[in-house]
Structure 1
């Protein structure tokens, strides 16, 4: 079964097998359910914990170094939870092969959750504990995605498990950097991981965003330009390597930043951006993706001081990573529980807030650094409100069976 751009619309929107019946609790029916809910819940609490640690250290309790915990957990905790939930759902749809459900899903999710909780304890926990748990979680995710894709020889999607393997290696390096107190290596690892996630978003988003847009608006979708996709993917992949070799801000690095920015922006322009502006479930994806080339352009053209890089990468992390995550978990939670995607709770506020949070956190400290603390707090508030809104409206969706009684 070969994956092409000619999707069956119904199968992309819902997993719907009339021959199956639920055999486990609703939350363990499919990967998106636990990872979306608890990933969003972790997002809600992680930023306030970070702000307390940063500005009210007398009330902080985390035993891991805060400057390590914050980026590590937002990337390898929050972001990878959403990626896991999406892939365990999408890969089943793409390949027709079952992913984790029931007890297996609970065990894999339990590894992710235990790793997060182990680093929130008010007493010292050996670094080997979360590192081992993360290894189990990510290893299981990689193995399942690889098995499903390889079993049907779906070579087009083989980049997904390969990308996850790179993420696993970067996570190992992040833990190693903490163990050796090499915070320069840790910082490079997190930056490389952001580019790795950008590559995954670019790879998957290039398929689903134009598809969703054309399917909803009933307009013709432009066929992808193979060489343009190849340039975008390869340049983002090279940025991962350039970061880890310390060459990101060299002349070569800035050239590839610019190439990645131009190619990513050119792809977005082909996805009917203007036509999507009246539909929040569409413009949220387009606008979040736009934060990627904007960030790359700034990094390529602005003087790359550590202060500027740190803030602009926050603009990308919140705008693109969190923005795409919020939009996709909303869409998938509705579509894969048999509900109408475009008749769900009003998410205009959260979609808008997360982009505002990106601008406030990533841009305003650069132009008005004297109010950096205020920008951090305001951005964190908007972030937590956005994901709290999702939890409030979607907890019942994720913890209850599909209305049609089918699994998924």
Structure 2
């Protein structure tokens, strides 16, 4: 990481993390809208909307630590504009319209270019796969938008994000654990092995080999959970910012295992071993809580060497973390259980969004996601 923050460019995490948090709330509230396609809108905002904004914000925030280069303000605000246009077209237009296709391709192409050019210039070959992530995400959204009702593409899209969380979080979470405990970072979560297994399971699901995909997911789910034993769980209880990341990681392993079991058992499986409930464990539990834990780091209180989440951020995280539970346990009245899950989810994200808005006028922190050092500005 550079000793000093880049003198040029713009802190991308601010508008993009704000969009991700707002999209999470909209993605929950679409069930209350008078629309004939709540599931499509739910995935459009919750998976692709929240996910793409969070991925863009995280990668552009990490870019200066890799290359010393920060994306320009024009690039960041261009991405914000393209994201907004894409979400509006996906919500109020036809997903197969040329305007939506162009806007979606443009967003992911601009993001990939902003990442790839400085990475290739510095010959950081290990980072090249991350620069290609936007192309994969963009292709997934276009495929989902044109998919017929009842296809396996929604499940495949969720698994795609699970693979990305496994790849990025598998290195970032143990690194943050080591930094918080002021000790060598625990070993990463097996590099590309787990994401590769998830990708293999995704391919199996797409070709109709659900049970084979389920076996792969069950194995990688258990492996994901087993990695936590190396992460000093008993010591991070006094570091809530890091504990949030580890708890989100536990949802990733649990969600993969549940989806694997659901695919193995097949149709007619009892709750919580159904594809629908397992997908919610991955989207609301793993994807939601991991994005929450990462994006919250940019607005946590800053003490020397430690990021401390505010009380509201901690309460909000617990609401998001627990929001899948009403979908996973038997509920006397299913619609009520669904409403409780949506309410907990939206309130949790509202806590974080309020904090993000409140800090927009403060000096941009550096580093944005770590308290390893503070250069310029004020420690908050």
Normalising by structure 2, we get a TM-score of 0.86
Larger CA deviation: 234-243 vs 82-91: 234-243
User: 2:314 is matched with which residue: 306, 324, 348?
Assistant: 348
Determine whether 1:389 maps to 2:351: yes
On the 8 A contact 1:334/1:340 being kept in 2, the answer is no
User: 2:157 is matched with which residue: 172, 178, 193?
Assistant: 193
Alpha-carbon distance in 1 for matches of 2:268, 2:161:
21
Q: How far has the Cα of 1:294 moved from its partner?
A: 1.2
Determine whether 1:84 maps to 2:56: yes
User: 1:131 is matched with which residue: 67, 80, 101?
Assistant: 101
Instruction: Identify the structure with bigger relative contact order (alpha carbons < 8 Å, sequence gap 6+).
Output: 1
Alpha-carbon distance in 2 for matches of 1:90, 1:273:
25
Alpha-carbon distance in 2 for matches of 1:90, 1:137:
19
Determine whether 1:235 maps to 2:172: no
- 1:315 corresponding residue in structure 2: 281
Q: How far has the Cα of 1:399 moved from its partner?
A: 4.2
Q: How far has the Cα of 1:133 moved from its partner?
A: 1.3
Mark the runs of 5 or more structure 1 residues left unpaired by the alignment.
1-7, 23-28, 54-59
> Given the superposition, is the C-alpha separation of residues 76 and 306 from structure 1 closer, same or farther in structure 2, using an over 3 Å criterion?
farther
On the 8 A contact 2:239/2:308 being kept in 1, the answer is no
- 2:65 corresponding residue in structure 1: 93
Larger CA deviation: 312-321 vs 265-274: 265-274
- 2:261 corresponding residue in structure 1: 301
Determine whether 1:75 maps to 2:41: no
Q: How far has the Cα of 1:42 moved from its partner?
A: 2.3
- 1:218 corresponding residue in structure 2: 182
User: 2:32 is matched with which residue: 49, 52, 73?
Assistant: 52
Mark the runs of 5 or more structure 2 residues left unpaired by the alignment.
366-375
Alpha-carbon distance in 1 for matches of 2:78, 2:139:
22
On the 8 A contact 1:72/1:174 being kept in 2, the answer is no
Q: How far has the Cα of 1:281 moved from its partner?
A: 0.7
5 Å matches for 1:17-28?
Answer: 17=5, 20=7
> Given the superposition, is the C-alpha separation of residues 211 and 103 from structure 1 closer, same or farther in structure 2, using an over 3 Å criterion?
same
On the 8 A contact 1:111/1:133 being kept in 2, the answer is yes
Q: How far has the Cα of 1:267 moved from its partner?
A: 2.4
Alpha-carbon distance in 1 for matches of 2:342, 2:241:
23
Determine whether 1:271 maps to 2:231: yes
> Given the superposition, is the C-alpha separation of residues 230 and 47 from structure 1 closer, same or farther in structure 2, using an over 3 Å criterion?
closer
- 2:80 corresponding residue in structure 1: 109
Q: Give the structure with the higher percent helix.
A: 1
On the 8 A contact 1:150/1:158 being kept in 2, the answer is yes
On the 8 A contact 1:77/1:116 being kept in 2, the answer is yes
Q: How far has the Cα of 1:32 moved from its partner?
A: 0.8
Q: Pairwise CA RMSD of aligned residues?
A: 2.7
